[in-house]
Structure 1
Amino acid sequence: MIDDHNHNLRGIMFRCVSVICFAIMAAAMKWASEAHVTAIEMLFVRSTIGLPIVVGWLLIGPGIGIIRTKRPKAHLIRSMIGMSGILMTFQGLILLPLAEVTTIGFSAPIFATILSALILKEKVGGHRWTAVLFGFLGVAIVVRPGGGGEALSQFGVIAALLGAVGTAGVTITIRQLGGTEQPGTIVFWFFVSCAVVSGAAMPFYGHLRAPETYAVMCIAGFAGAAAQILMTMSLKAAPVSVVAPFDYGQIIWASLLGWLFWSTTPTLNTLAGAGLIVFAGLYTAWRESRKRRVTVAATPPLE
């Protein structure tokens, strides 16, 4: 019992630091966007900086041997979905305030519920559909003009929503991959795919930048890789239901960094919408956890 408690605390600590790193990455990319850095350039720097860090983590941790896989096609599909989602999120960061794009991004569990019903044919009950409706209401409030702020860029909103759909798609594919693949394997091939695809696109979308712009993007790359590793470590230390609620702290950190660097504060719409989105996400996570407990309890013991 004490060991479980210690593991949970360790998992929560890893998750909280991961959330801070994700917020730093987003803020750094937002800063770089003011120098007209494109989403492709952001992805290239994030993946090329992050890949050596991931390799180093594998060498000192689970071992580089885990990158062997018998499911390359599944990794390719997961990577393509993840890349599309990240590019849309970066485009949202270019066009929207930091707090707003972060808040919209947390609609991903809503889309994951819908995709799990459509693709995995999972049975979704009335409680979870109600949470989906609350989440969509929260998104609608965030993107609606008014509430003490200027109207948001429509393309930016669409990009941020597509980023959330991409994150939801990744959640679904990782569920399918997780049965046979190690977390480190999934992370490694994702970074490799991002580096190859964005590298191939750089001759068309890349430009020479000022040294300080590259420095900021490198900070984003280091923070993104650290966040990915810490998130994986949190899931190894504690159950998803224990650590996932702490993800929403990223909204707080994004708001704080937005105020610190751009003197922007979340509008009333953003705060109200964030409340509904967080409620929907936490309720969905609770229902998922409860369903798993019931399933385990109903499973007969092995003879």
Structure 2
Amino acid sequence: MADGKEIGLMILRLLVGLLYTVYCMLEALVLTLIPRRYRRKNIKGNIALVTGGGSGIGRLMCRQLAAKGAIVVTWDVNEAGNLETVRQVVEKGGQCRAYTVDLCNRHAIYSTATRVKEEVGKVDILINNAGVVTGKNLLDCPDESIIRTFDVNILSHFWTTKAFLGDMISRGKGHIVTIASAAGKFPCNRLVDYCSSKYAAVGFDDTLRLELMAEGHTGIKTTVVCPVFITTGMFEGFQSKYFPILKPEYVAEEVVDAMLLNTPVLMLPYTLKINLLLNLILPQKVLLYLSNVLDITHSMDNFVGRRKNQ
């Protein structure tokens, strides 16, 4: 049982916390008034590794990072796509190296990470972007597909981060970006495995950020990205009457900018924050009713996914 002194100290800490909250809110307000170009950090010469860099927003982020002066490393299981990313980056005057990696294979991740350190250098920016989707009801989803979803969408984050975080800690700087999804905040029909993996990705970033702070590694930043679905072909057939489907160029630009601004959480579109607030305060029955009214329960009915030639 806490004594009077301990209770008094706790009350004092809570008051300090209240003042700190007000300060942080004012700081956030002031920062929104300062143009982004004055707040971005310089990553020229930094080594930036992007998983899933052989297509989609991964490729677009590789191009943007190279344009900012970073030395880009792209990891993808698709060798042809990876090489095409290198070609596009080099064509624009950037530096890029490609490594064919199966992110379902923990040992392949560790061995390739060792090669990157030897052949390119220590990674400063890690963007865990690779993702897969099955798009089937739970009972129709093969066990192997569920395992693959978790291997790529979340477990690979653990292995890549373990491979490169130690070097970041030794140098006192670095940035880890987790590409999650709005599906990591809000459920969607026929996406039990996908949403679960993205919920885990959000939790991974939240907890990693807290752990780094608790251990005093304040020079290492993390960013989690939660966009709604993107027109990359990964969710081909997804339909929504009320929610936007984002352009990959926009998402890639916002993700890179969030990293440059050390933004902890990026939700796209920004109005998702309102949805998140409603998700916290509304009863579960109301949320299920709204899901049906907004046709979320049928948005995956015509899903076909990424075609092999994409």
Q: What is the TM-score of this pair, normalised by structure 2? A: 0.26
Larger radius of gyration: 2
> Larger % of strand: which?
2
Higher normalized contact order (CA 8 Å, seq sep 6+, divided by chain length): 1
Report which of the two has the higher share of helix: 1
Give the TM-score normalised by the residue count of structure 1. Answer: 0.26
